[in-house]
Amino acid sequence: MTNLLSKNLNLTKNANHFITKYIKYVKTINPNDVFEGKNDKQILRNKFIFKIQQITNLDLANISLHLTSKNIEVLAKIPDSKATIIGTYPLNSELEKMINHGAYPTIRITGGQYKEVVSGSFEDKISNGFEPYGIVLELHQPEIVNEKIKQFDKLYHHTFKNEQSLVNLSKILMSLFALIGLVLGIGFMFLGFLMTGLVVIIAFFGFNSYTLLLSNSYKPKQAN
């Protein structure tokens, strides 16, 4: 995922209300997204965490862009609510070109409620605070399938087809040899060569039949 752009949005009057509503929504469906699912004790035990935000993104919201003559309007929506314009950014020809070529948006949240580890005289403590919200718009380039990957995929499918064809041909030949062995064996028996007939049946019919049973348990992985 290639990041093409990362810009701070101009927040609308509805932005803070939407973020508050979004946090309540996240708490109901995925509480682990709030403070990364950690309580105060877990934060204190983790020696690599010094400050942690309540929420850092809007990944569970539907984000869309609306272009006006002057601005990019960023709309966010959660289930059972209307889309809300949470921020804007001045539109220019370069940004318009990115969006028209399929660049897709994600949102990063800065500020809001946070928990911070504060060193005390005897032990560390958690301090709770709040900073003004900020919203960062990030545009990403769609994934482009590499030409080498396409060629490898074609080769894989071609190899699979060849392998499947060889397996089918082998089964046909084994069935044919088994049938020939059975006919020859019975023929020798009718002529009075019981042992010879029995050996031929075991060697041709028995061996090929057993091999066919084993081959039926072998199934090459299907190509996607």
Six-digit token string for 123: 């032990």
pLDDT for 131 equals 95
Same domain, 202 and 130: no
Same domain, 72 and 165: no
Interval 194-216 mean pLDDT: 70
Residue at a domain's end among 99, 115, 141: 141
Q: What is the pLDDT of residues 100-117, one digit of tens each?
A: 888 889 999 999 999 999
> Which stretches within 7-146 are classed as H helix?
15-29, 40-45, 93-100
Query: What is the distance between the alpha carbons of residues 185 and 206, in angstroms, rounded to a whole number?
Result: 11
Count Cα neighbours of 132 within 13 Å in the Cβ-side half-sphere.
3
pLDDT for 81 equals 87
Same domain, 109 and 40: yes
Asked whether residue 100 is assigned to any structural domain, the reply reads: yes
Q: What is the pLDDT of residues 4-60, one digit of tens each?
A: 889 999 999 999 999 999 999 999 999 999 999 999 999 888 878 889 999 999 999
Asked whether residue 222 is assigned to any structural domain, the reply reads: no
pLDDT for 24 equals 94
Token pair 């057993």 is found at 210
Same domain, 101 and 129: yes
Domain count, the chain: 2
Q: Which domain holds residue 203?
A: 147-216
Asked whether residue 224 is assigned to any structural domain, the reply reads: no
Residue 145, pLDDT > 60, answer no
Residue at a domain's end among 141, 166, 197: 141
8 Å CB contact between 163 and 36: no
Taking residue 159's Cβ as centre, other Cβ atoms within 10 Å add up to 12
Taking residue 59's Cβ as centre, other Cβ atoms within 10 Å add up to 13
Same domain, 48 and 126: yes
Residue at a domain's end among 124, 141, 158: 141
The more confidently predicted of residues 165 and 119 is: 119
Assign 218 a pLDDT band (cuts: 50, 70, 90). low
Asked whether residue 223 is assigned to any structural domain, the reply reads: no
Interval 75-89 mean pLDDT: 93
Same domain, 97 and 111: yes
